[in-house]
A and B are shown apart, each in its own frame.
Chain A
């Protein structure tokens, strides 16, 4: 029995409890332990990742109850990958939060952060549909707290919308699970897969409704239009490290769609196979369009970053919606990229916002800020990554998707939308960047040739090292993802194959039958 599978859930839960219990008045201790836990989580995630690479499905039967009667955790390539991404992102984000003092602007940041990690990892690892709901709740409620961390009227308002919208989603989740259980009499995902396949043909309507509602629940998380309305304000107003961490939250939705719609309601399933038909692709295309148009139309950097996140989810969902091993492989690559790029953009925007004083992140000219050139370079990198230009991973991700959808009957539509929106995004980022970083006003000194080598006209704001390390690490990650695209895709190809050979998963969980 490999107890490590549950470690990504137990470790953060325990750490959060310890932080609340023993060090809620000691910011320094909280930081040390939270950071330590993040390091440990990365180590565990790497271990699990290596184990999953063997292709064997790791099953952990909680309470020693056999599947499908108890709850199981399942470690396959996909879940191991997601946990790994989460842990790495968490480490970067916690570094940033500590270095930028964001964690000290309210109460319980680190406890909530660890609980959040517990929820995310739990959602990725579970093999039980209802347990997925539970961990959605864990990650959501922790995210509510993180989102309003630090307070402020605008943030509270956005937070309220976030909470209410997601409560709608949670309610829908319960409806969906109730319906599925009413039809199939089980909650274990592998068992669901078996039973859905064996469902009598004259009693399919209810199951289809359940499957559809479930898809919509995940679509809310994944910010698929028209269920994305919670995202822009939330991401734009959330504290920067939280917004960066949220880069993985939308991926939870994408993950859940991939999981349920390859395993349980797979493309071959007679009953539900066509449920994800053209409308899903269409919605994803519109998501991409609205996201990138939002980038062009943004009046603040925060909203620009938020809409770029929507756009990138659109791209990801396009690839997912085709449901072939090739497109899924491309989607997974893009998912890794999009997590990195999204997080990087939010962190860079925060660095800018912190240095522009009253102007904040509004897209208006302002005096040159401290570390102007450095920030310009970081923004340039983040923009390139988000727009999907070389040499960062977004370009390869896009190429992979474009190449993979060649088999689709809608290939021309997909290509046109992806390429056209890339142009819109490029224009949007270029306009925003040139307004913030080039078109500087210089009240003290009218001579206009201000560059990074000149002394900064604004009072110097020191650049704390950790945020720079965190942001730089994300940039480096994007570069590495490009450089090692070959091996990464080797793993992802195996991951996609494992997903589409669902009998491996089923027999892994339920035993050879």
Chain B
């Protein structure tokens, strides 16, 4: 039978594949759309029918495909009696709903979406009942929650629809998540996530200490899905969906998923006291509660919704009893409930559709106006009430029979009494559905004059009612299915039972009689009871849920906004505290080695420099609102750091540091031009104290870390020895620092010059963005309050910079060339040349200077990156890795023999990148200045010296002339 097994994934996939089409085919019309939705369902039904005989013969069809074997998640399907029943219900009622919905939905409703969602849901449901892997089952389980969310919220313009959808998703989603945990535990106990394996391990599961948690978690999932107390409240609110959805999801299928799973797990989970007390009690409470509430609902669909809750409770209770006969009754009632309840929902939908109201108070007397609907509704409702010759009677009798034998905590009468009470109210609301809607006098004030709908609309409920009657009269028809299904639920031999109408004068018959009589009585005094019920205070689940959801949202918003209030100083404070704490934790967990080195003697000059450093830093703290002063102090700090490098014999670093300092300070000075001169006072004293403490602790921590490092030594030999040894022989240079930069770790330098280049590009892009936006308008408005220099481009400076220019360039070239063997190199050379250029710009203005040189700075940067890149790539042609250097000695007369290294080409890249980056940054700042009204001068200096003297002379003469006059 392996070949038949391959139908299983097809049955499950068919609706999903089919879901793609209705949304498209709606363009061809509503009938075509409905038919497109029906085709996959029919195909699935056909395949199921092919499988059915084998299953009814007791076979279990299987299909297996590894999906994620390492997790134990596999595409395993199996079909036994239980799966067959549910798949049949889902697909069978599904096709009826598709038919019904075609006529129910109006032209304004997007029908394509509806069928797409419906088929998605159908596929998910079929997947649940066919899964032979609990992880796969979980996937389908969550899919039902998601697709039902879409279905319930289908009428998205209705607030109730949206709220109901969210509520259903939240509650069933919560259940689903609990179930994930439960299933994982279960799989953990058994060692497999395959359902067939799990079902064989009853003893292992029930003996496990994790049995109870697993049971609870799984039951939460089932109860939430099947609307069991206390999770029942979402179901009535889901009724905001179009009626076909209610009929499908909330009578026949989704809410039965929980029941299905309890039935599926019955062989391994049932039979323990925990199971009995949790499941049976919950079912009992739900049954009674639902029935009572249903009676007092005036909305037809609400009445049916609570009656569904009640009936689900009934089935849950039966499963909870844990006896095989109760399981048989449960299975039978699942079938019966699906038939009559789907029919009832559809009739409610017809009434709503025709009379334009579902309010029982506004209805009555419809039997004359809608005879066909009345007939269907009456039969279905009587079946729900448990009247003989209809299928509801049979299963209700079996339920009462089982209840009569059930002892709850030593009390033999509690369960039967409550079951009878539930049945009594069930009769009452069923009768009410008939009496208050269809009987009585014809009214004149219906919102719309009702009449029977087209055949298409009543065909589906009519067919279901036929089944209701057929099973009710000839219960033997359903017996094979019930037997197979119940056998699958129990997972073993079934005790003797027979589905028949007359069992003799059993206790159940008396209970049933009491229920019918009592129900009729209760209905007769309904008009008395209803106002009291309405007046009685009771918790409104929706309000509680809404309050919780709202509180959670408000709390979340508060917490999130409170934590992320956008205050950078607070973020930084948290950062500092976290880092210090983690650092201390790490330090204290280890052992600090003894100091290896002696501290150096403190000499006078370094001490002075140190004091200056400290003073400047403190000064920055004190005067930090005066930005110009802070910048000057920063310059001092930078210079002292450079001095420190010299003191510790690191001339390369010192050179770099000094030139970087110069460039940075110049750029910052220019940037300051566009900023307020004084930092505003924003922090309260308390905040400053907090920040001070945090900053102080951070400073101390860093100082401590540095001190510890300085007193220690490498625990193992450092790699620097290799660099010293190989600098000349391998890198062709005696300046190890430079060889490290361009050769040993040239790749780092490659990255760093790119960082520099990117920085310049970012500055450029940023300034362009600013100029294009509000910032540009502000600059142009002239509000930038800056005192202009009296003499922007002074003569002395212009002359001096001109003289310095060739010297500085020569120094740059010199520094560049000596780099490989003496302190220097492309980076420093680039900075030196950049400073030389910057001086020209400062002297005569940027625009003046830029007009006199041809290469755009973008290009310089790009060329620099490419030079470095191609130097690196060049090594490939020698079969060496990126950036492998080579060097040799050449003699070009009349020069002496000198060394050429490929590293030099790389260094040219560095050089170009640095120049380009600095100049592009300068360019960006200057473009902002021009926007602020800075004029572009045509001449190298503000005033032509020659003309100035003439002008002065003329002035003096004028003054003199004035005096004389």
Contact = CB atoms under 8 A, between A and B. Distances in A.
User: What 6 A-B pairs have minimum CB-CB distances, sorted nearest first?
Assistant: A203-B593, A297-B556, A185-B718, A151-B769, A448-B157, A145-B762
Given A165-B572, A229-B564, A294 B556 contact: yes
B143 A70 contact: no
Interface string A435-478: 00111100000011111111000000000000000000000000
Contact of A437 (B156, B719, B758, B866): B156
Given A151-B769, A206-B708, A293 B858 contact: no
B568 A107 contact: no
Interface string B702-714: 1001001100101
Given A108-B765, A112-B762, A423-B177, A161 B560 contact: no
A36 interface: no
Interface in A344-387: 373, 380, 384
B752 interface: yes
B586 A208 contact: yes
Contacts of B256: none
Interface of B: 26, 66-73, 108-110, 112-113, 135, 138-140, 142-143, 146, 149-150, 153, 155-159, 161-162, 165-166, 169-170, 173-174, 177-178, 180-181, 184, 188, 549, 552-561, 563-564, 566, 568, 571-572, 574-575, 578-579, 582-583, 585-594, 702, 705, 708-709, 712, 714-720, 722-723, 726, 730, 743-748, 751-752, 754-755, 758-759, 761-762, 764-766, 768-770, 772-774, 858-859, 861-863, 865-866, 869, 872-873, 875-876, 879-885
Contacts of A428: 556
A175 B702 contact: yes
A271 B180 CA distance: 38
A422 B145 CA distance: 14
Contact of B755 (A141, A165, A271, A307): A141
Interface in A388-415: 389-391, 395-396, 399-400, 402-403, 406, 415
B754 A18 contact: no
Interface stretch (A44-52, A84-92, A316-324, A482-490): A482-490
Interface stretch (A27-35, A194-202, A245-253, A498-506): A194-202
Contacts of A172: 579
Q: Is the interface of A mostly helix, strand, loop or mixed?
A: helix
A226 interface: yes
A311 B111 CA distance: 37
A106 B67 CA distance: 46
Given A112-B762, A297-B553, A297-B560, A199 B715 contact: yes
A182 B709 contact: yes
Interface stretch (A94-102, A210-218, A256-264, A335-343): A210-218
Interface in A1-44: 1, 3, 6, 10, 13-14, 16-18, 20-21, 24
Interface in A135-169: 135, 137-138, 141-142, 144-145, 148-153, 156, 160-161, 164-165, 168
B146 A384 contact: yes
A20 B768 contact: no
Contact of B769 (A71, A148, A403): A148
24 contacts: A16-B865, A20-B861, A62-B882, A64-B884, A70-B744, A71-B745, A131-B747, A138-B758, A141-B759, A153-B774, A188-B719, A199-B715, A205-B588, A208-B586, A208-B590, A213-B579, A380-B150, A403-B184, A415-B184, A430-B149, A430-B170, A438-B153, A448-B157, A449-B157
Given A206-B593, A489-B70, 14 more contacts: A1-B880, A10-B872, A13-B754, A64-B881, A106-B765, A112-B758, A203-B593, A206-B709, A229-B564, A274-B589, A279-B585, A294-B564, A390-B146, A427-B549
Interface of A: 1, 3, 6, 10, 13-14, 16-18, 20-21, 24, 60-65, 68-71, 106-108, 111-112, 115, 118-119, 122, 130-131, 134-135, 137-138, 141-142, 144-145, 148-153, 156, 160-161, 164-165, 168, 172, 175, 178-179, 181-188, 191, 195, 198-209, 211-213, 215-216, 220, 226-227, 229-230, 232-233, 271, 274-275, 279, 290, 293-294, 296-299, 307, 329, 373, 380, 384, 389-391, 395-396, 399-400, 402-403, 406, 415, 419-420, 422-424, 426-428, 430-431, 434, 437-440, 447-454, 485-486, 489-490, 493
A427 B170 contact: yes
Contacts of B70: 329, 486, 489-490, 493
Given A63-B883, A419-B180, A229 B590 contact: no
B157 A450 contact: yes
A297 B561 contact: yes
A188 B708 CA distance: 23
B142 A145 contact: no
Contacts of A275: 586, 589
Given A112-B758, A205-B590, A106 B564 contact: no
A216 B579 contact: yes
A142 to B, nearest CB: 5
Contacts of B755: 134, 137-138, 141
Contacts of A227: 575, 578
Contacts of B26: 453
Contacts of A142: 758, 762
Contacts of B71: 396, 399-400, 403, 485, 489
Contacts of A489: 68, 70-71
A144 B762 contact: yes
A181 to B, nearest CB: 8
B898 to A, nearest CB: 22
Contacts of A406: 184, 188
A205 B588 CA distance: 7
A41 B765 CA distance: 26
A124 B773 CA distance: 37
B714 A438 contact: no
A135 B769 CA distance: 26
A168 B575 contact: yes
B68 A396 contact: yes
A434 B174 CA distance: 19
A395 B712 contact: no
A161 B571 contact: yes
A20 B716 contact: no
Contacts of B170: 423, 426-427, 430
Contacts of B582: 212-213, 215-216
Nearest to A71: B747
Contacts of A389: 142, 146
A430 B169 contact: yes
B882 A486 contact: no
A286 to B, nearest CB: 11
Contacts of A395: 139, 142
Contacts of A486: 66-70
Contacts of B752: 134, 137
A482 to B, nearest CB: 9
Contacts of B158: 448
Contact of A434 (B162, B579, B743, B745): B162
Nearest to B27: A453
Contacts of A64: 875, 880-881, 884
Contact of A131 (B751, B768, B862): B751
Contacts of B587: 205-206, 208-209
A152 B765 contact: no
A453 B774 contact: no
A233 B566 contact: yes
Contacts of A182: 709, 712, 714
Nearest to B66: A486
A184 B717 CA distance: 8
A3 B765 contact: no
A178 B714 CA distance: 12
Contacts of B746: 62-63
Contacts of A185: 714-720
Given A122-B751, A296-B556, A229 B571 contact: yes
Nearest to A25: B858
Given A165-B571, A227-B578, A485 B73 contact: yes
